[in-house]
Structure 1
Amino acid sequence: MPCPPPTPGTRATLAACRREPADDHFLYRFRHDERPLEEAEGAFLLCGFVMALAEHQQGRTVEASRWFERNRGACGGSGLYAEEFDIAQRRLRGNLPQAFVHAVLRETAARLGE
């Protein structure tokens, strides 16, 4: 079933996400305080894959692929994903393995492959 067309509100929300809680195609959940985002927590991999899905829905296939590939590369040596990824130290943080991240990875791969 195809996704509904994007609305102006959806476009504005994605633009805001690209500006503030994002860093090099990784996405953080929210700003905890005035510290840099990466000091409060790791990039939230689930959010990065959802951003890839949103970009794909908007017809921005190159950006969708960039989000997908960047977050796909954030797995551990065993191929498993945690919920967060520390960009500076290039290591997993949080719960491991994270089933929701694996599920949305599969969903994103299927959508981008259509």
Structure 2
Amino acid sequence: MPAAASYLIGSVVRVSVSITDCATNILADPGGLILKVKPPAEAPTTFTYGVDSEVIKDADGVYHADITLDKSGEWRWRWEASTPNVGVVEGDLAVRASRVV
């Protein structure tokens, strides 16, 4: 398993997802899309496309959210797409404190 990407506290990271229709392999929108972001030692926060401004549609089937990393430790995220184009993708990243300030 590859090591998680590493960032400094205060960084903003973009997490993206691309969703395809399984039958055609063409980018396609899901029926619904949520992003769960879990900071270190906290419960996850859920962002819903069409409700929360954090989830942005870039094109058909392509979405992103920018996350401000304000705590050190391991952050985790999970995209969940619902019918008709169902899928899940997860990731994590490491955030470390500055050695300067």
- Structure of greater Rg: 2
TM range (shorter): under 0.3
Q: RCO greater where, 1 or 2, for CA within 8 Å and sep 6 or more?
A: 2
Question: Greater helix share, 1 or 2?
Answer: 1
